Structure 1
Amino acid sequence: MNATEQQTEQDIQAKGLNAPRLTPADIDATIVGEQYHVFPGTTLTVCCLQLKNGATVTGDSACVSPANFDEQIGRNIARQNAREKIWQLEGYLLKQRLYLAEAVV
């Protein structure tokens, strides 16, 4: 969880907003594996996150100047970019579940 997510989570809890929603912990709980690849001769780093249902999401990062390349920073950014995709997928899934629950009533 990054600093922005922590602050947002604190704000939500402080305001007592407790309708169904996703939390950073929910997103992290979907991740069961991760792999990274840096393409030789480039600054391109790709992160592949494996989710508990077997799906995968990818994120990437690259820097303009090879002199600024740091593999760990590249991994961190690529992972963050991949993780952002999980929010969208899980958000859709939650919305669909809520829709179906309302349709049954």
Structure 2
Amino acid sequence: MDSLETSDAEAAAVQKTANRVTLDSLRAAIAAEEIVNPMFAGHVTVVIAKLENGFVLIGKSAPADPANFDAELGLKLAREDVIRQMWPLEGYALRERLAGA
């Protein structure tokens, strides 16, 4: 279980209402993604994620030493960067919906 899944599980354990942003809901909000490894910096991974509402986020990862690059790990970390950016945005949107109810 990675750190995002651990945090989500811990939040679910203390959840008292259905009003919560979940890791699954964040992942489901990603409509499309493009993965880029720039030719001049092949150790860099960039994920351009388009959300269901059309908003675009850019996640990235890069090891300090290019010799440590691992494509699978780079992709995982770049995707996690997108999710971490989404979390406060979705939290704000949820709070707006709750305030209007």
TM range (shorter): 0.7 to 0.9
TM-score (norm 1): 0.80
Distance 1:62 1:26 in 2: 27
Larger radius of gyration: 1
Change (3 A) 1:16 1:79: closer
Instruction: Report the Cα distance in structure 2 between the residues aligned to 1:8 and 1:73, rounded to whole angstroms.
Output: 19
Residue in 2 aligned with 1:32? 31
Question: Is 2:3 the counterpart of 1:4?
Answer: yes
| 1:13-49 CA distance string (max 9 Å, x none) | 4445225111111111101111111111312211111
Closer, same or farther: CA 14–62 of 1 in aligned 2, 3 Å:
closer
Structure 1 spans left out of the alignment, 5+ residues = none
Q: CA RMSD in A?
A: 1.9
Number of positions where the alignment pairs a residue of Structure 1 with one of Structure 2: 100
> What is aligned with 2:20?
21
User: Cα–Cα, structure 1 residues 6 and 92, in superposed 2: closer, same or farther, change >3 Å?
Assistant: same
TM normalised by structure 2 equals 0.83
Matches within 5 A, 1:17-96: 17-42=16-41, 43-96=43-96
Question: 1:50 & 1:16 partners in 2: Cα distance?
Answer: 29
Q: CA, structure 1 residues 84+9, in 2 after alignment: closer, same or farther (shift >3 Å)?
A: closer
Percent identity between the two aligned chains: 32
Question: In 2, distance between residues paired with 1:9 and 1:85?
Answer: 15
